Amino acid sequence: MAVSIARDGDIALLTVDNPPVNALSHAVRQGLWDAIAAAEADDTVRAVVIRATGRTFPAGADIREFGKPSVDPWLPAVVDRIEGCAKPVVAALHGQILGGGLEVAMGAHVRVCDPGARLGLPEVSLGILPGAGGTQRLPRLIPVDRALDMITTGKPISAAEARALGLVDAVSEPGEAVADAALAHARRLVADGTVPRPTGARPVHPAAPDLFETTRAALARTAKGRLAPLACVDAVEAATRLPLREGLAEERRLFGTLMESDQRAALIHAFLSERQVAKLPELEGVTSRPLERIGIVGGGTMGAGIAAAALLSGLPVHLVERGDDAAARARETVTGMLDGAVKRGKLDAETRAMLLSDAFATGTDYAALGTADLVVEAVFESMDAKREVFAALDAVCKPGAVLATNTSYLDVDALAATVSRPGDVLGLHFFSPAHVMRLLEVVVGRETAPDAVATGFALAKRLGKVAVRAGVCDGFIGNRVLSAYRKALDGAVLAGASPFNVDRALVDFGLAMGPYAVGDLSGLDIAWANRKRLAPTRDPRETYADFSDRLCEAGHLGRKTGRGFYVHGDGKPVPNPEVEAIVAAERAAKGIAPRPVPDAEIVARFVAATVNEGARIVGEGIARRPLDVDVTMLNGYGFPRWRGGPMHHADATGLARILADIERLAGEDAFLWRPAPLLHRLAGEGGRFADLDGG
């Protein structure tokens, strides 16, 4: 039974039991509706406590019902029913009280909270707004500016902050069961003869006159292109000027509009894909290897970031460098990263000190890695250097230890062939900064053992990262797509666009940064070294744009040297005036007469190249499903989340239209713009990439 009723004297105890997170499925909604009605009809019941089993109070909607028609009783009616109960209703809150779960709690007359709970309304991250009264009741409980911030950002708050703001009425004592504290509170209400005070009957907190205008202006910058945050502002503003019933009607109207939007579908796709991406048939029933201690070889920016990520997740780390000075620098870098975590409130100073003294060690002796369960090689991108490291690891690491390379491009199979245990070798492609970026490509070689793959995914989960399985090829999923769209955009620059217009057009499309600005940030020399590595194998039919190489040859490597495509100083980067001259010289050398390239064409080139290469990668089996490409590009390459990822965006745009763009651009460069067989087939059949995500 999803909701059961028990009695403790004259208090009715309603218990939600719908594991794993007590999602508000139809059975739970119906159970709450019936239980409240039964308690209200029973003259011997004086008050009601709503509690939940397991690890959390209802943590939101049931994702299995996403996209399906609502079945009565729908959640807004259930919340209204709880709020309208003639007897006091106390909610006992623990775990993650999110979305509809918090709306249920706000329907109760009193909220008692466990000290470790987190409370929030994250619907905006799914392209919608709280649709069961959240936008109308929250500003009646807490200051309007804080309600607006919670709803437009979706960020949860702690129990202590919720108590200080007035969202909850009491926080249970440490070690005290919150259900017991709620029961005691209900007994006091009965003893005092307290009449229920519905949340909706409370006045809305006063709001500053310019609050909503200021918030909209800020969101125009920080949430550019997104519909839901601005609709959230409209809904909260409605609470300040309309009676409850009219405000709820306006909330439902706005909610319905968002539910019909492409952005809602895209964000739901992104949400569900991140939960599906680690579900691989090859890992069913496979248990990961032990993962209690890790080693890292290389203490540069990447190695130090991986070390910091592991330490923050509670994993002891031993980092090996070439010499004492390098090891000392690595320790300083990791210390700085942990200091940053303290400043951001992610770590307390005492834990930081403990991690650095007890959980983190540096040195120069590979033998210290003999007890590690997994070792990540994070030296510079040279196959010779990586072979040398792997030979040392092969000699000292214990049997069954996973040997992982953090390579961005190199052949994992070739590296595995150099050791006596190729089944233990896999790629773990972290993204910089590794202690911040969510994406981790788990690169599976020909001989990688399934339990080694499972260990890579287990590590990602432990680190709080999103893991995507990738096969072995140059660049795997993400960097291979990046290489394709950079060539397409370089072609737009040769045709007549400036790199700065390309960056601006793609930021307007929704990318966090333009690709040339990103190159400056990461260092232009990284891609330059890779281009030189691939030069001997370059197809003579390829049109090669060398203006980025000319910048590197001039010493303009990006932010690290103060100049790249942009000039970097104390303020906002500005275009490097040398770039246009370098590009113009290349156009002249190639006999290209520049023409205006509109923003729409720049975006079309970017989308077509990204989708086409994504389709090629899926068709070759490098990515198992289109959703793997979407998750990679969303979490590692700044593709706008509200567009769902390139493959979802292609489905929404129409594959025939994408194919037509490619065929048109083939007139300019037939080698670059070759349609992927999978894209060609699906477009001809009227199919979608989403049709392949279930397999």
Residues recognised as catalytic: 103, 123
- Residues in the chain, total: 695
Alpha carbons within 13 A on the beta-carbon side of 96: 13
464, two tokens:
């709080």
DSSP string, 493-512: HHHT--HHHHHHHHHHHT-S
CA distance 365 to 359: 17
In this structure, are residues 150 and 122 in contact, taking their beta carbons and an 8 Å threshold?
no
Q: What angle do CA 386, 389, 390 make, to 5 degrees?
A: 85
Tell whether the torsion through CA atoms of 309, 312, 317 and 323 is positive or negative: positive
Other C-beta atoms closer than 10 Å to the C-beta of 358 total 9
> Shortest CA distance to 197 belongs to which of 81, 86, 47?
86
CA distance 218 to 66: 30
DSSP string, 566-598: EE-SSSS-EE-HHHHHHHHHHHHHHT-------
Q: Which helix (H) or strand (E) holds 601?
A: helix 599-620
Q: What angle do CA 560, 564, 570 make, to 5 degrees?
A: 60
125, two tokens:
């991250």
174, two tokens:
């440490």
Which CB contacts under 8 angstroms, 24+ apart, belong to 429-433? 429/470, 429/476, 429/478, 430/302, 430/305, 430/306, 430/309, 430/376, 430/378, 430/406, 431/478, 431/636, 432/301, 432/302, 432/305, 432/522, 433/301, 433/305, 433/337
- Cis amide prior to 433 (ω within 30 degrees): yes
CA distance 607 to 130: 32
In this structure, are residues 496 and 668 in contact, taking their beta carbons and an 8 Å threshold?
no
* Cβ-proximal residues to 290 (8 Å cutoff; 6+ apart), any chain: 373
Q: Which helix (H) or strand (E) holds 629?
A: helix 626-636
What torsion, rounded to 10 degrees, do the Cα atoms 550, 551, 552, 557 define? -170
Specify the residue for token string 């490409």.
629
In this structure, are residues 318 and 296 in contact, taking their beta carbons and an 8 Å threshold?
yes
Q: How big is the chain by its Cα radius of gyration, in Å?
A: 28
List beta partners, residue 403. Answer: 375, 425
DSSP string, 270-318: HHHHHHHTT--GGGTTPPPPP-S-EEEE--SHHHHHHHHHHHHTT--EE
Alpha-carbon 645 to chain mean position: 12
CA distance 504 to 527: 21
List beta partners, residue 297. Answer: 320, 377
In single-letter form, the type of residue at position 9 comes to: G
Q: E strands, 121-177, where?
A: 157-158, 170-171
CA distance 435 to 181: 39
